[in-house]
Structure 1
């Protein structure tokens, strides 16, 4: 018989890679929000869940259970095969640790699959996320990467992550690049999904001496950074990275690939068009319509993004800032690494 597992034990094992979390809710529920690192092996498809739910409301619990059993029985071999492909111990969960996770755990256990069920399901997990955010506590120092649009700050973060440095990628969690064009080609996260990923990252790095983040506004796409973390970020060490404009333009083109969704770029541009001097706005219109994206990006940098960023560094105390002039993101990552490994401390012992 399968056993339930507490949330604390679940996290400890998941953090060590000793457990795979399996969300047995429908694909739609999984997409909306889940426990980070989970895989989705649904008991019901979205349509099947709607059908069983309608039966429950209109006919009764027993009719819904009977139909659920019929659906599950037909897909049982494929369902179990997916469990057997995972070679670590497993923990299943549904919304509140009810019928779906109990059914999944029972049949998996009967087939000899090592499985637990998460007590309280994702509802108890969501309560934990909320309680962690309410604590408003994050111990590590924060080192913030700033720079003009196109500096490649996210790319630099990931280059440092590959070298073992702790990072929290807020844009990655938000699934949004932070600009008016930031949603294009992505599916922005909702607040629940963002909060879950953020709390997991904070949990992972709680004992680290510092964590690297990108300079962000309070709001990224559809989500907001918690006040306590945003305020701490603003009071932390700020590194300002400068790259040649040609590099920045190429970074933007590489990231956004505007030629794939030209209409989406044109629509996003129209939301900021009124903030740009009319003759320049007309040039940008023409270059967008002509598919001259390099020229478009240069005009946007020269007449919209760079002027808005000009005075950003001045809002921070000088003893909390440093400037890095680099030729590429790789060069910038290398210089940040040097600062983090000693030279930065020698220049200003008040930092880090």
Structure 2
């Protein structure tokens, strides 16, 4: 017989041994938010879930269960086959630990496949995540990468991670680069997905002496930083990177590839057009229309992003800052490593 386990039990199992977590909800539900690392083996597809839910509301629970069983029985061989491929201990879950996960776990048990079921489903996991972010103290010190737009902060974070340093990439989790153009070419996360990914990283690094992050505002695209991260970021060691303007323009062009989404860049610019001196705004709009992206980016930096950055950076005391000047992102990366005293790294 299958066993019900709590979220804490599940996370403990993941830490101790290989463990597979299976989300048996529909593909659409899985895409919207799931437990990080889960795989999707659905009891119902998206259309079937809607159909069963409609019957439940309009006719009743018994009729919905009968139709659900009819639909599920048709895919039972394939469903079981997917589970037989799994060689580790496993836990199944649905929305609130209801009929779908119970049906899945019961069928697996009848076929001799042992599994656990997450008590309370993904709703209990979400409550656990929210409670963790509201009540837990994240102990590592923060080394915060700051700099004018285009200084390659994300690239430096990636290089640091490749070198084995603890890194929390907030923009990657948010699916957004943090600027008015930051969502172009990316798939933005919702708050549930962002929080889950963030807590997964926090659990991984909770025993580290320090973590590198990027200096973000409270909001990144569609998501908001929890206070436990934002407040700690504000108190962290602020590393300010300064690169030549032409180098920053080049970095932005290479990262954003605006020629792939020219209309979206024009559309995004309209949101900030009124905040830029009218003659300059017209120049930028003209350059975007003619796909002269280098000229447009340079003007955006000079007349919009740089002044905003200078204002936001001014409130940190000098004792909390490390200033780095470089000619390229790679030079900046090397200076980041050189510029942080080993004692601050906990060495």
* Separation (CA, whole Å) in 2 of partners of 1:143 and 1:179: 21
1:169 Cα deviation from its structure 2 partner: 1.3
Partner SS, residue 259 of structure 2: coil
1:321 Cα deviation from its structure 2 partner: 0.5
Residues 30-179 of structure 1: pairs in structure 2 closer than 5 A: 30-135=30-135, 137-179=137-179
* Other-structure match for 1:230: 230
The change in CA–CA distance for 1:297 and 1:17 in structure 2 (over 3 A counts) is farther
Paired residues of 2:92 and 2:118 also in contact (CA < 8 A): yes
* Other-structure match for 2:309: 309
Tell me the TM-score normalized by structure 2.
Answer: 0.93
Tell me the TM-score normalized by structure 1.
Answer: 0.92
* Other-structure match for 1:274: 274
1:250 Cα deviation from its structure 2 partner: 2.4
* Separation (CA, whole Å) in 1 of partners of 2:8 and 2:248: 44
1:8 Cα deviation from its structure 2 partner: 1.6
* Other-structure match for 2:327: 327
* Separation (CA, whole Å) in 2 of partners of 1:339 and 1:133: 31
The change in CA–CA distance for 1:350 and 1:3 in structure 2 (over 3 A counts) is closer
**For structure 2, which runs of at least 5 residues remain unmatched after alignment?**
none
The change in CA–CA distance for 1:181 and 1:139 in structure 2 (over 3 A counts) is same
Paired residues of 1:138 and 1:206 also in contact (CA < 8 A): yes
Q: How many residues align?
A: 347
Structure 1 residue runs of 4 or more that deviate by more than 6 Å after TM superposition: 349-352
Partner SS, residue 322 of structure 1: strand
Partner SS, residue 92 of structure 1: strand
**For structure 1, which runs of at least 5 residues remain unmatched after alignment?**
none
Post-superposition CA distance 1:46-78 (Å, at most 9, x none): 211110011112222221111111111111222
Paired residues of 1:319 and 1:351 also in contact (CA < 8 A): no
* Other-structure match for 2:182: 182
Post-superposition CA distance 1:137-174 (Å, at most 9, x none): 21111110001111121121121111111111111121
Paired residues of 2:134 and 2:228 also in contact (CA < 8 A): no
Moved more, 7-16 or 117-126: 7-16
Is the counterpart of residue 9 in structure 1 residue 9 in structure 2? yes
Residues 15-34 of structure 1: pairs in structure 2 closer than 5 A: 15-16=15-16, 18-34=18-34
**Alignment RMSD:** 2.1
